Structure 1
Amino acid sequence: MNNRDFIAKRAAAYFKPGDVVNLGIGIPSLCGSYAVSGVLFQSENGFIGIGPKAEGLMVNERYANAGGVNFVPVPGSSAFDVAASFCVIRSGRLAATVLGGLQVSADGDLANWATPGRAFGMGGAMDLCNGAKNVIVAMELVAKDGSPKIVKECTLPLTAVRCVNHIVTDRCVIDVTGEGLVLSEIRKGHTVEEIQAAVEPQLIISPELKEMEED
């Protein structure tokens, strides 16, 4: 399994039947392939009940998520306007949101929408970070140049402050707690020392540290 799908599968393990969940673009969008039956996926542009990606004759231009990807609605799905969609988000009805990340701070601050010279607009991420009951960041542990993405303080423009609950990466799972960042799971073939060297904040090693499930 490639790293992106590995991350998505682990992030999807947080969902349970009956949850309404929002998925961001990139790695988070892959979580739908690994969720248990009964999870309902929501899109900011006004839909609950997003099913698999539509292909061939199943493509209907009326059904596209916030990232512009056409999908097949699941039975019992519902469409509504954007205003109602953000009422769902802001009223705390989302069990979780899974977002990508550029940086996560030791306090759980998230930066995921702009880098120097590149800004695409924050979109609905600000609302999702503040409205969802559980904010899960799904990303590689380090940037392409090897620099830390889990930092003491974010240097990139913030999406929201103190919002992240869990960080799921290709090498480990880190939980954001009031005491600090807790290393709770580690992937086979990696060490605690390696993970600590790849992040800026000092990690708390969970006494129940376990190995991430591979398949």
Structure 2
Amino acid sequence: MGLERTAVREAAKSSKLRTVVGFVLIALGLAVFAVRLQHEGPYAMPRGGNLFGGVGALLLGGLLLWPGLPRTFGWIALVASPVVLFSALYATMAELDEVVSLYATDRAGWPAELRLWIVDREDGAWVGMARSKALEHSLDGARLDLLRRGETRCVVPTLHEDRPTVRAIHALKVERYAVARAAAAIGLYPREARDAAVSLRLDPCPSEAATGG
């Protein structure tokens, strides 16, 4: 009887843990999509790792809440949940502050919406990214649409690779965005710009600059 009671208690604890984690995952999965509604302008659908975090959290959360889930699979889902949970949490936090959309094309010619953190200096607005990403989307010198604060305007990104500029822009991002500082504190975001990073100044398109638009 003692062993049976112990087994029942362990099963109850496992069921409660699965329920709590399941609801947390579903809440975070919904947050990945809902947080983007706070930004003005067209809705920006999560992509890549952010989409994985949102959809993965919803699916895994639903699986954990399924009453018919075998106990073994329940433990496997619990073990996998921290990875999905972190991905969904980061995807949500990254959108809490200002994020802009830069509309470009990839190497195959497909439209691409780049969601980016942005900082302002006296010489203009700046974004940063990996050099490979900037080259893949042919950003340097292209005329592109930038969605910021609900308004779309034409910009011409100018790529800068000199390390003082790249380090300065990265430092401004870390200073401005709380999620960057939090991620840097636990080693998941670089405190200083990596060697592969570049910065891009988003200059107004010549016609807009000439008319003051």
Q: TM-score scaled to structure 1, two decimals? A: 0.26
Q: Which has the larger radius of gyration?
A: 2
Q: Whose helix fraction is larger, Structure 1's or Structure 2's? A: 2
